[in-house]
Structure 1
């Protein structure tokens, strides 16, 4: 067999190729964008379907929810108030119990104070000195009596003692700082001084008339911060206030006390 007689396989025929076409580019024109679908939608409602308040068919349910929320809020507030009131009640009960125990154990009594004597200087009321300011000085002997068997008293700094006639304050001073033991009586002298005191015409006339009668009423006001010692326990600072009405026979260094009366009370807070 000759080489020319051999049959060579032929590749399968290729399908006809379409002619090349121009590549299409996206059209971003306005008309194209308007006709292109997107993922966003606009839904229009009629104006009569837009409500600022719940529609009638949901009004009852909305009011029910509002009432339920209001009741829940009231219950929460009431619960908080109840807890607070209960805590205060327990605290008040504890304080009252402690005070009752202290009272039964120590049987506290308010101290007694009185004025034993007063030496007066600088109160010259003669007609020749009517227009001059006064500089009165009083040396006041005060008796402090602590009647308690189990309580001591610390008299602290920051006190005030004032002497007045009618509504005119004549002089001021201070209560001394000291420790007063149980069932102790202490007598001390405190100096009260005034400077540039000008009395009105009516007050000067009334004071002169009292001197001429031989009975001059003076009013003493005392405020003293103290701490009270109960056994080994010392209290917080409380204020002892006293008011003493004293009548002197004259306004001199050798004046005598005709009458005296003192009232005492304690401010615990």
Structure 2
């Protein structure tokens, strides 16, 4: 209980103290001025009871801390859920891979006939190419759908696009070899005099290089399920002996790549 001290009737004058310094006694605290009060509060109440002006802040902080804790718990739960889904997806893909053992189809150029290129004239050329491509699907449980819409087939000499076309739409079943014949043509292609001279030299050596580029949207069929649309890209470097049909392929090398998204 607080102890109240009433004002003294006659406070001591300034500079006067009662007590004996020589005997080790310290002077008593001076009395407060008239009409003032001294309130003594126990030490434990000072730390336990906040001042009135800070009571609302204490109440606000007391309510805020649990909210922060709940937010942290929600974030941690969400991160744990995402991590668990990623792990499950990885395990599912691993199981599917072990079951189906997927492998990419292999592509091979069987025929490449060239016509319509006159190197003795400076007029624009209108080349024609008859290209035969063989696709082999070695998967035992996976089929491939090829879509003509969005596909492209181009033949290049150096960096010049000589002709273009599209793939037919077809389905390649499991353990299947499909042969696709393509008729490609270009119109009003202007070759430089230096390029014509170089091509004549390559024809005399029977080593005329071309590059075949194929881009095709595909969907993979696994059982009764189709995947999303992916893009297969095939690049073939070819060397033929002449620019008239029938031409013979001297060398060929094909590579392919898949864009999953």
Q: 1:154 to 1:200 in 2, by over 3 A?
A: same
Aligned pairs (5 A) from 1:52-131: 82-126=76-120, 129-130=121-122
1:143, CA displacement in angstroms? 0.6
The question of 1:207 aligning with 2:199 is answered yes
Q: 1:136 to 1:72 in 2, by over 3 A?
A: farther
Q: 1:79 to 1:216 in 2, by over 3 A?
A: farther
> Is the Cα–Cα contact under 8 Å of residues 140 and 191 in structure 1 kept in the other structure?
yes
CA distance in 2, matches of 1:110, 1:220: 19
Gaps of 5+ in 2: 1-57
> Is the Cα–Cα contact under 8 Å of residues 140 and 189 in structure 1 kept in the other structure?
yes
Gaps of 5+ in 1: 1-63
CA distance in 2, matches of 1:112, 1:245: 15
CA distance in 2, matches of 1:145, 1:181: 10
Aligned residues: 210
1:92, CA displacement in angstroms? 2.2
Q: Decide which structure has the larger Cα Rg and report it.
A: 1
Aligned pairs (5 A) from 1:182-201: 182-201=174-193
Alignment partner, residue 7 of structure 2: none
Q: 1:79 to 1:116 in 2, by over 3 A?
A: same
Per-residue CA deviations over 1:56-90 (Å, capped at 9, x if unaligned) read xxxxxxxx9xx99x999997886666455434323
Alignment partner, residue 134 of structure 1: 125
CA distance in 1, matches of 2:254, 2:71: 51
1:179, CA displacement in angstroms? 0.9
Q: 1:76 to 1:123 in 2, by over 3 A?
A: farther
Alignment partner, residue 224 of structure 1: 216
Q: 1:71 to 1:237 in 2, by over 3 A?
A: same
CA distance in 2, matches of 1:120, 1:74: 74
Alignment partner, residue 171 of structure 1: 163
Q: 1:71 to 1:196 in 2, by over 3 A?
A: farther
Per-residue CA deviations over 1:90-109 (Å, capped at 9, x if unaligned) read 33222222211211111111
